[in-house]
Amino acid sequence: MDSFKLLSLLKTCISSKSLVKGKLIHQKVISLGLQNNVSICKSLISFYFSSHLHDSAYRVFNTIEHPLDISLWNGLMAAYAKSFMYFEALELFQRLWEYPYLKPNSFTYPSVLKACGGLGNVGYGKMIHTHLIKVGSLYDVVVASSLVGMYAKCSMFDQATRMFDEMPERDVACWNTVISCYYQDGRAEKALELLGKMRDAGFEPNSVTLTVAISSCARLMDLERGKEIHGELVKDGIVLDGFFGSALVDMYGKCGCLEMAKEVFEQIPEKGVVTWNSMISGYSSVGDSRSCIELFRRMNAEGIKPSLTTLSSILMACSRSAQLQYGKFIHGYIIRNMIGADIFVNNCLIDLYFKCGNFHSAESIFEMMPKTDVVSWNVMISGFVSVGKYFDALITYEDMIKAGLNPDAVTFSSVLAACSQLAALEKGKEIHNSITQSSLERNEVVMGALLDMYAKCGAVDEAFRIFCNLPERDLVSWTSMITAYGSHGRALEALSLFGEMQKSSSKPDAVTFLAVLSACSHGGLVDEGCYYFNQMTSEHDIKPQLEHYSCLIDLLGRAGRLHEAYEFVQSNPETREDVGLLSTLFSACRLHKCLELGEKIAELLIKKDPDDSPTYIVLSNMYASAKKWDKVRKVKSNVHDFGMKFGVIAEEQFRCHEQAPTKTPSPESYPIVGNLLGFLRNRHRFHDWVADMLSQTPSSTLQVNSFLNLSQGVCTANPVNIQHLLHSNFHNYIKGSRFQENLHELLGTGIFSVDAHLWNLQRKISSHEFSTNSLKQHISDVVTSQLSHNLLPCLSNACNQNQIVDLQDILQRFTFSNICKIAFGVDITTLQNSGFVQAFDDAVEICSSRLLSPIPNVWKIKRLLNVGSEKRLKEAIDVVNDFAMEIIKSKERQRHNSSENRGKSKDLLSRFMSKTWEMEFEDQDQKRKFLRDIIISFVLAGKDSTSTALTWFFWLINGHPRCLRLILDEVSRLESFNYDELRELNYLHAALSESLRLFPPVPINSKLTVDDDVWPDGTQVRKGWFADYSAYGRMEKVWGPDCREFKPERWLDDEGVFKPCDQFRFPVFHCGPRMCLGKEMAYVQMKSVVVALMRGFEILAVDGGASAEKMMNPPYILTLNLKMKGGFLVKLKKRNDLI
């Protein structure tokens, strides 16, 4: 067999990929002694490469006795380069120098340069470049092109294009390389320019050129040019291949032309994953997650496996459209198919969960990720900021630092935003230091965020210092600084800065003018406001937006220049119709008692929306304060003329004006003693007495005068008034001195008794903690453990001994030990002789009697003399303080000794202790006092409320066997009772809510009025008056004629699912910004207790429970919490009727 025959056989083996035959031929070659034949060796090398047997190929080369033919070397080097085996290619090239007789030629260098490019080894590439210049090989167009390609691959685009410019001769490949170079270097415009030049030079672009050109159009969002290129392609009859087709789809998608993208997409005969990705990314960019998912399903059905890019694109679409369902589907797909999600996919998932408000899932994903990349930390931190979890953002930042990562500009900007929101100046300053250390002081974004942080934290001077040191002042920084001055009442400085800005090169925009106008508004600078408004339109040609008008109208309105404001609104067709502006002006009319203009505006507003009840109410209030009762009546009749569906409550407000034009109804009141006699007479049924009186008034609102007129006030059960009191005009109704004076010794400056800044600060910390999963889980664990170790054994004991026990007392002790464990992390049931329990109870009782005393301030005399209850209070408070301080100090010692335990303690005190790093204290004692006060507030809040609620609940179901049965049915279906399963107990939830409605643990609550006010029903409230609301749910107007009945069904929808009701109708947990923080905890606790007790025992009330008669006259005593008179005596029987 001769060598020709062997060569042809080897060719066939390569094309048919026949390994066995090829190997047989190799044997034959050896047996014939042809192993040094250059052509056969080259062919054998190709054969082995085609079978991926690279070692065998190398062996063929290595066994040649004298490899002195350069084409042999070139062949193997080219094969290596083609198979991405760049190291091997360069090694071979190195070996070539051992053979001085062999000279590399124009076929050698392209492979070597490709290997350099592939390895990014630009140093070696440059060496070869120098060598090529020396040997004069650069004239070869292929070699020069390869050199251009090498530089391009090593991202040295300038060098590549320079080389290209110097080339005397070029080929299409070379044009393509350099066009891609420009594209990859972000110079898409230049890439397109070169395409033109290529054509001018007489070269016909091929599909590679056009793909890059189309991608350049996509990057430039140049739809016109993209269409042109597409048109040429169609004209030339070029068939769409995967690459070019994908680039087109991508271009149309990016330019927002999804129809066209879809059309091209459907025309591509064989769609690879890149094509699918291009189409999906088009839909993703507009947040069309549904279309993305459809395509995803289609590609799966067509057997195309999605890549990680596919998944991240779809996830981005889902987060853009906040489509959690679809996002979860993709997440599920990743888990089911065990796809190793990369950092991009994980970041997209985190982003999605944050956007959809499901930050726990975001946290779980982050937990499982390797945390070596700063980007993932940034996604977490900015995610927390985006959902308002600023503390978590700061904690994550701390963890990131602990994990040894260096924050970058994005991290700093996000974490500074968190500081701004929390007004956490100290932390912000700390971050400022880190920024300085990271040398990011010249980063505009970071410095902008720093400026914003100082401005929002009220450190305006510090903000100004940053502003002065900015590397460059741009529009945003000028505007931020003007806003900072304006919003902190430094209107003149804001205006002076604006003057400076106008002299600089930055031109103000609409936002800057808004900052200027609002500075004028805050500073009451009416004329200046008008001047700048005119300047904005006339000199800067900025069309005012509604916000600008609103600022100006507010400014004029507050200054009482109402007619001017009105003319202003009317002068412009765009503002004339705007309800927001008219309403602002309407409120100003009410403020300045300008009835005539008010009527005019009300007419306009009513024309716009005849169903807008606030307009009628404000108008009727204006008439009422002007004593125009006939007009009040007319408004009401107009309401009917308009056929408006008016709620009972709104109706009542009119009736109130009609029937009691000058005075809010008041209970029987006598000179000197005020309402005292009525109070004493009805003390035993106080809440029912108040409820009766309230329901007899037209708008469920009363005015009350105390003994000697020492205090005066109002009390309401009208949801509209309650909304006004606790929400709309929140700042006008505070806990105030009455509450603080009476409870000062016990509560200090804890959350429960303070207002304004002190309250705000504690509220922020606490509401953050109460929203964490870890605290919720901890609460649930404590309740379960206390149930099995404390409550159930105690009841079993009583049951076994057939004792009558006071369930109210037992539940009180149980909830007290629960809250102590949650608050202090201490089990008081195991404490010996601490006296704390008794002392706390005594202190609460004495302080509440101060508050509830019909004659205020008598206790002050007793305190002065240090006698009676006041003497006992002093002693009790000492015990409480010693107890609390001892625990705080021991926790401090623990934290000091073991930094490991810091994050692990789950009780509230430890949590608050970790938060105190954020705050400034004068000394350690002040810090301890702060912790003592906030914790004692929590103990008080959580101590008796749930036990009281449970007591009445068991009493009620004793008198309602049908409800008892329904609850038992539901409870018996429960397999275990963990946190989630408790949520599913709809009937029990309804029954507990109904019980709370009838017997709210805090039936009446009091606020102090800061400034004169008029309630929505027209009730006048004077500065210094108390303003009470009653949560005792016996108002027929609110709950219907069956309001005194126990009917859990009123809380269920047709499917038996619990339906919550408006908070102002059911203010049992308070409402508005001071809403109870422990509501969720209370329900978990109540449900756990009910389930455990009802499964174990029949609870038989000695008095038979809630009979119809007792429902009318319930047995309570007058304390802060609605306690049952004489306790709740029960007998317990082991329950045998449940499985």
Binding residues for heme: 1076
The answer to the question of residue 949 lying near ligand HEM (CB under 6 A) is yes
Q: Which stretch binds ligand HEM (CB under 6 A): 509-517, 827-835, 942-950, 1109-1117?
A: 942-950
Q: How far is the CB of 941 from ligand HEM (least distance, A)?
A: 3
Q: How far is the CB of 1078 from ligand HEM (least distance, A)?
A: 2
Round to whole Å and give the CA distance between 621 and 842: 47
Q: Record the tokens describing residue 646, joined without a space.
A: 């008016």
Of 283 and 1069, nearer to ligand HEM (C-beta) is: 1069
- The residue sitting closest to ligand HEM, measured at its beta carbon, is 1078
Contact between 41 and 54 under an 8 Å Cβ cutoff? The reply is no
DSSP H helices in 898-985: 908-915, 924-943, 945-958, 961-972, 979-983
Round to whole Å and give the CA distance between 717 and 696: 11
Round to whole Å and give the CA distance between 440 and 455: 20
Q: How far is the CB of 873 from ligand HEM (least distance, A)?
A: 20
Q: How far is the CB of 946 from ligand HEM (least distance, A)?
A: 5
Residues composing the chain:
1139
Residues 1030-1069 within binding reach of ligand HEM (CB under 6 A): 1068-1069
Q: 78: part of which helix (H) or strand (E)?
A: helix 70-82
Using CB under 6 A, count the residues that bind ligand HEM.
22
Of 566 and 752, nearer to ligand HEM (C-beta) is: 752
Q: List C-alpha distances in Å: 825 to 663, 840, 879, 913.
A: 52, 17, 18, 13
Q: What are phi and psi of 7, to 5 degrees?
A: -60, -45
Residues 723-752 within binding reach of ligand HEM (CB under 6 A): 751-752
Q: What are phi and psi of 1035, to 5 degrees?
A: -90, 115
Of 156 and 819, nearer to ligand HEM (C-beta) is: 819
Q: How far is the CB of 407 from ligand HEM (least distance, A)?
A: 34
The answer to the question of residue 1123 lying near ligand HEM (CB under 6 A) is no
Beta bridge partners of 889: none
Q: Record the tokens describing residue 372, joined without a space.
A: 């070596």
Q: Which of 327, 942, 1016, 1033 binds ligand HEM (CB under 6 A)?
A: 942
Of 104 and 1001, nearer to ligand HEM (C-beta) is: 1001
Q: How far is the CB of 837 from ligand HEM (least distance, A)?
A: 17
The Cα diameter of the chain in Å comes to 135
The answer to the question of residue 945 lying near ligand HEM (CB under 6 A) is yes
Angle at 169 between CA 237 and CA 109, to 5 degrees: 100
| Eight-state DSSP code of residue 138 | G
Residues annotated within a binding site: 1076
Q: What are phi and psi of 1137, to 5 degrees?
A: -90, 10
Q: What are phi and psi of 867, to 5 degrees?
A: -125, 165
The answer to the question of residue 211 lying near ligand HEM (CB under 6 A) is no
Q: Which of 210, 941, 1027, 1099 binds ligand HEM (CB under 6 A)?
A: 941
Coil/strand/helix, residue 1130? strand
Q: Which stretch binds ligand HEM (CB under 6 A): 136-144, 407-415, 852-860, 938-946?
A: 938-946
Of 143 and 822, nearer to ligand HEM (C-beta) is: 822
Q: How far is the CB of 1096 from ligand HEM (least distance, A)?
A: 22
Beta bridge partners of 806: 1129
Coil/strand/helix, residue 28? helix
968-973: list long-range contacts, CB under 8 Å, 24+ apart.
Answer: 968/1094, 968/1137, 968/1138, 971/1090, 971/1091, 971/1094, 971/1095, 971/1138, 972/1095, 972/1138, 972/1139
Round to whole Å and give the CA distance between 612 and 603: 12
Q: Record the tokens describing residue 743, joined without a space.
A: 């409870």
CA nearest to 1017, candidates 704, 621, 722: 621
Q: How far is the CB of 542 from ligand HEM (least distance, A)?
A: 43
* Contact mark string toward ligand HEM, 1069..1108, x via CB under 6 A: xx---x-xxx--xx--------------------------
Q: How far is the CB of 1002 from ligand HEM (least distance, A)?
A: 4
Q: Which of 326, 938, 952, 955 binds ligand HEM (CB under 6 A)?
A: 938
Q: How far is the CB of 1000 from ligand HEM (least distance, A)?
A: 6
Of 745 and 944, nearer to ligand HEM (C-beta) is: 944
Q: Record the tokens describing residue 716, joined without a space.
A: 């309401």
Q: Which residues in 434-472 are b (16+ Cβ under 10 Å) and which e?
A: bbeebebbebeebbbbbbbbbbbbebbebbbebbeebee
Q: Which stretch binds ligand HEM (CB under 6 A): 296-304, 414-422, 429-437, 944-952?
A: 944-952
The answer to the question of residue 847 lying near ligand HEM (CB under 6 A) is no
Q: Which stretch binds ligand HEM (CB under 6 A): 102-110, 154-162, 321-329, 943-951?
A: 943-951
Q: How far is the CB of 910 from ligand HEM (least distance, A)?
A: 15
Of 674 and 1078, nearer to ligand HEM (C-beta) is: 1078
Of 60 and 1068, nearer to ligand HEM (C-beta) is: 1068
Q: How far is the CB of 669 from ligand HEM (least distance, A)?
A: 26
Of 606 and 765, nearer to ligand HEM (C-beta) is: 765
Coil/strand/helix, residue 283? helix
In the chain, the N- to C-terminal Cα span, in Å, equals: 92
Q: Which of 946, 986, 995, 1088 binds ligand HEM (CB under 6 A)?
A: 946
Of 115 and 819, nearer to ligand HEM (C-beta) is: 819
Contact between 727 and 1072 under an 8 Å Cβ cutoff? The reply is yes
Q: How far is the CB of 815 from ligand HEM (least distance, A)?
A: 8
Of 182 and 1029, nearer to ligand HEM (C-beta) is: 1029
Q: Which stretch binds ligand HEM (CB under 6 A): 214-222, 446-454, 936-944, 1008-1016?
A: 936-944
Of 621 and 1088, nearer to ligand HEM (C-beta) is: 1088
Round to whole Å and give the CA distance between 608 and 614: 13
Of 417 and 935, nearer to ligand HEM (C-beta) is: 935
| Eight-state DSSP code of residue 337 | T
Q: How far is the CB of 1075 from ligand HEM (least distance, A)?
A: 7
Q: How far is the CB of 393 from ligand HEM (least distance, A)?
A: 23
Of 477 and 1005, nearer to ligand HEM (C-beta) is: 1005
Count the neighbouring beta carbons within 10 Å of the beta carbon of residue 678.
17
Q: Which of 763, 863, 983, 1044 binds ligand HEM (CB under 6 A)?
A: 763
Name 809's Cβ contacts closer than 8 Å, sequence gap at least 6.
Answer: 1127
Q: Record the tokens describing residue 1022, joined without a space.
A: 């004077």
Q: List C-alpha distances in Å: 2 to 8, 33, 102.
A: 10, 11, 28
Of 660 and 1086, nearer to ligand HEM (C-beta) is: 1086
Residues 794-823 within binding reach of ligand HEM (CB under 6 A): 819
Residues 994-1023 within binding reach of ligand HEM (CB under 6 A): 1001-1002, 1005
Q: Which residue has the tokens 């974490």?
A: 415
Contact between 1085 and 818 under an 8 Å Cβ cutoff? The reply is yes
DSSP H helices in 685-826: 686-696, 719-723, 736-747, 756-770, 773-786, 792-800, 807-824
Footprint on this chain of ligand HEM (rule: CB under 6 A): 751-752, 763, 819, 938, 941-942, 945-946, 949, 1001-1002, 1005, 1068-1070, 1074, 1076-1078, 1081-1082
